[in-house]
Amino acid sequence: MRRNRRVKKNSRFATSSMGIASLIVSAFIMMMIFFAMNSRCSAIKREMGQREKALHRLESELTREKTRWEEMKVPERLKVALTRFGLEMDLPREDQIVRIGRNGMPVPGQMALSRTRGASATMAQAQTRRPRVSPSVSPSASRRRARNGVRK
């Protein structure tokens, strides 16, 4: 007797097509991940290039400014600038120098220190005095003069 041999075409086709479809889908997903990562890396690369250009620009600007500053510190240029603005610079007198000790406090017994302390006491007394207000000028009149630019 002959057996009934049915060929299961559907099941064989379904399993082979599912394998191929899963390979295609996984390849597509991997390709999308690759393109996403590639675009992100290229964006980072562009940003790095822009920042490196800015860094080089700032470094060259710093070099130029350092050079300008060094040129300004040359004694001849300092003398020219002082004469242009009418400034006179000399070494300080002995009573103008205050020496600071290792503890950060002024060394006692200096002429400049005693002179400074005497001046600060005089200034403290001057600050405690009240200024005299002239009775002839009212406050509103002085404000008007100040606003209009009129001086006494």
> CB atoms < 10 A from the CB of 98, how many?
14
Query: What pLDDT does 55 receive?
Result: 98
Distance, in Å, from the CA atom of 62 to the CA atom of 3, rounded to the nearest integer, reads: 95
Higher pLDDT pick, 117 / 81: 81
Report how far apart, in Å, the C-alpha atoms of 49 and of each of 19, 55, 138 are.
45, 10, 68
Give me the half-sphere count of Cα atoms (radius 13 Å) on the Cβ side of residue 60.
Answer: 5
- Cα-based angle 84, 86, 91 (whole degrees, multiple of 5): 115
Give me the half-sphere count of Cα atoms (radius 13 Å) on the Cβ side of residue 20.
Answer: 6
pLDDT above 90 (res 59)? yes
> Average pLDDT, whole number, for the chain?
77
Q: Whole-model pTM?
A: 0.41
Distance, in Å, from the CA atom of 29 to the CA atom of 37, rounded to the nearest integer, reads: 12
pLDDT above 60 (res 84)? yes
Query: What pLDDT does 148 receive?
Result: 54
Distance, in Å, from the CA atom of 19 to the CA atom of 13, rounded to the nearest integer, reads: 10
pLDDT above 80 (res 50)? yes
pLDDT grade for 123, boundaries at 50, 70 and 90: very low
pLDDT above 70 (res 38)? yes
**For residue 130, what is the DSSP state?**
P
Higher pLDDT pick, 96 / 32: 32
Which range in 86-90, 118-122, 125-129 is most confidently predicted, on average pLDDT? 86-90
pLDDT grade for 105, boundaries at 50, 70 and 90: confident
Query: What pLDDT does 6 receive?
Result: 60
Report how far apart, in Å, the C-alpha atoms of 121 and of each of 1, 62, 92, 144 are.
134, 47, 23, 36
